[in-house]
Structure 1
Amino acid sequence: MMLGVNEGERVNFTGIKLMSMFQLQDIAETIFADALERAWPPTNRSTHNRSLEEQLQDPTFRQRVKVGLAKGLVELVAAHDEHVLSAYLFEGITDLYPQIETCSSPEIKTHLLILVSKRSAALYALVTALDEAFVREAQKLLPLLANQQESLLNPIFITEADVAQHKGYAMLLSSAHVSPLTIWGRD
């Protein structure tokens, strides 16, 4: 993951209200539970005939979980940092290839492009802390899945200047072939 803070640059941490570890874990638990609940197909929501492990084998269910995690994360960080402008979900390079069948649980890593007006070490720290809290939640619910992944998020912060210059991952926003899914935008 790229931090994106220039060497020698002073970092202003006042833009993000500090949260305790317990508050962050509670928030992550709520976001994770909401993402899982919304991922169940409407016909199965009341009965939940299949286990969560079985349901995670379904690519549609996994995608819904990814969107739920991404939306919850972005809504939280955008509420605490006015520099967050929009967020996009995209498939990682490894997600474009079929999964190897030897893997017992599918990966649910969420790849996010977060458009910001200015990069911030505090924003990066908040997203990293939330990712760690998501991993702890996954370990509670799905030990096999969580043991395979050190991280559930792959946040990539891009600036408006990056988009204007078609620099790095910012090129995805203007791609005709692999356009990312817009999951949040500031009004």
Structure 2
Amino acid sequence: MEVELGRPPTIPEVFLRTHTKKDGTFVDKKAQAVHEAYKKRREAKLAAQDNDESSDGTSRRSELSHEEDDELFLQSTYINDRGTYFGVGSLGSYIIGKRKYPGSSSTFTTLQQQLEDANRKIEEQAALQAERDAEASRVAAEALRVASEQQAEISRLVSFLKTNPNNVAFLESQTNDLNPADFQS
């Protein structure tokens, strides 16, 4: 098209060429709706320029610049979830005369949002893990307290049993019966 026109084509010109059949009809209703929205915006912009006359009575230019034309088209088309414009194909990398690299504002904003979401999830997981750790510590402390109370109860019981001479003889006989040497092989 650049050779044919003698200049780089605008995005609307490329869109019209790639989204119409040989008979001039649009390939689908979405393409037709985008083109009609673009035409309305363009006509409104040109009408506004014609009404803006300078103080000396001369009217401003009656055509749009390449960048203005592209911008009107981009305002008229659809944008998907990834920030890609409908109908521009590989021209999406040359939007408004600037090469759009993977670090561009749209991509950067998307990545920044994903990073914020990931950080929020990490913080939520860290808080959940802290709650679990606190609960595990509480359960361990409770088990230790119960074991300590049981040990104290056993010690008191043994002390009570030792007050009776018959119980002391029994305890000593049981202790002698459980000689550690008996358990060695």
TM-score exceeds 0.5: no
TM-score scaled by length of structure 2: 0.27
Relative to its length, the structure with more helix (as a share) is 2
1 or 2 for the larger relative contact order (CA 8 Å, sep ≥6)?
1
TM-score scaled by length of structure 1: 0.27
